[in-house]
Structure 1
Amino acid sequence: MAGHSKWANIQHRKGRQDEKRQRIWTRVMREIMVAARMGGGDLTTNPRLRLAIDKGKAANMPAENVKYGIAKATGTLEGIVYEEIRYEGYGIGGAAIIVDTMTDNKVRTVAEVRHAFSKHGGNMGTEGSVVFQFKHCGQLIFAPGTNEDKLMEVALEAGADDVVTDDDGAIEVLTTPADYEAVKTALEAAGFTADVAGVTMRAENTIDMGVEEAARMQRLLDVLEDLDDTQEIYHNAAL
């Protein structure tokens, strides 16, 4: 199955994350704390916590920070309680945007998200207004030049739903959220390390944009990304 070109977008986002590593650590710490508070601090019985720790490792977060976050969330240390809230809206050219947040003050957060949308050419929608355009799934993306036949063989044998080759040669392995860890483990055992991996909201279709529209859309995404309470942003714009 063929997909759209997204490698340049991935590299651009990774570059921005490298520039803002401390902010990434803050977001991962929140995710670790929420996962530990909801499912406990035992990695063997808490898959969400395992995924959060994987994000921490990918961002080179010190192990001490991870241990502190788990201890704080499970009651060993006193801490702030975060609430997960999802906002949906439309960006430039009607592109769909999902903003996942964690906050200790939802009044502040909704005001900041609404302001970002309205000031930069978007519109904040109601719950359910755009989420139907995305699929909740496990996603592993491999660089162009990866051995597609071997990757597909291992992935499908491990339980992947699909293997998608994008226009630029990048390869996506798609799974159900429940099968993500098993497929990732099997691929790593076979020598395949994904450049991007996680459980995500994957756009079912993309919206193409011209240069000016893409620049405006990127500006809106950057502003939303820079909000303190933002955890993840998903969109369907082909920038």
Structure 2
Amino acid sequence: MKYIRKAGILLFWLAVWFAAGRIVENSLVLVGPEEVFMALGRLLPSSAFWKTVWCSLGHIVSGFLAGFLAGMLLGGAAYRFPFFRELISPVISLMKAVPVASFVILALIFMGSKNLALLIVFLLVIPIVYYNTLSGFQSTDRDFLEMAQVFRIPAGKRLTGIYRPALRPFLVSAAQTSIGMSWKSGVAAEVIGVSAGSIGEQLYLSKIYLETADLFAWTITIIVLSMLCEKAFTGILKML
């Protein structure tokens, strides 16, 4: 019943999209779902399409994983050492506040566009995971920690038995938030830098050549990839 309801909702919005396309009657402004699916049907069998997908997927996932690990380590260190937390606080706040476009332009000046998406995603993910990790550690039940101290439970067992359950919902939340933002910022960086062989480059070319159907097709591809990455990573976190 749940899947039938979801399918019905999807069909409803496809019908709204189809109707809007018929009302506008301008394929340069808004194309209908049938034209987008035709564009997808043309792109999917192409080896160039999959090379482009793997290029962006590799950069964005690598940047996300590196940023997630760095954010966890920094958050753990900040919880353990209050002085370290004060020391890196301005840097984390800066990473959180500076617009993505500014990071992109600075990165283009210093390193070019080849690994641009990886760096931008890395910088975006760190503050999100850092704050969630720190909050997770701080939410740990104090009674459990006092008991562990009384019975002299080793640090490794404290981490797996006490801290891990407290951290898990915070890390899952961080992953759900940061994965979607990683794809948005990563592809935006590729568009601005016109990174060769990337999805962002294809979006830029679609705009240049006024291929609105291709623009929508690549956008749907990004949405699907983002959803798959989120499901996979949060599923792994929940299993752990």
TM interval, short-chain normalised:
under 0.3
TM-score by length of 2: 0.22
- Larger helix share, 1 or 2: 2
**RCO higher in structure (CA 8 A, sep ≥6):** 2
The structure richer in strand per residue is 1
